[in-house]
Amino acid sequence: MTSYEEETDYRNVPRELLDNNIPMGRGMIKWAAFIICTNLIKNLI
């Protein structure tokens, strides 16, 4: 298969054809609640 336009799995597409401008997303924001909970538990012990 020489055309990668119909390919849905990015692992089958050569790296030079992929877009390297991928947004980072939320990052570590989702871990903030977990850190607060562990700090509360440490303070209770």
Pull the structure tokens for residue 31.
Answer: 């871990």
Decide if 34 is inside a domain. yes
Decide if 1 is inside a domain: no
Share of the chain above pLDDT 90, in %: 0
Q: Is residue 24 part of a domain?
A: yes
7 has a pLDDT exceeding 70: yes
pLDDT at 23: 75
Residue 15 belongs to a domain: yes
Per-residue model confidence as pLDDT tens digits over 16-35? 888 778 777 766 666 666 76
Domain range spanning residue 40? 10-44
27-44: average pLDDT: 70
Tell whether 18 is covered by a domain: yes
Assessment of whether the complete model's pTM goes beyond 0.75? no
Residue 31 per-residue DSSP state: G
Give the span between the Cα atoms of 18 and 39, in whole angstroms. Answer: 41
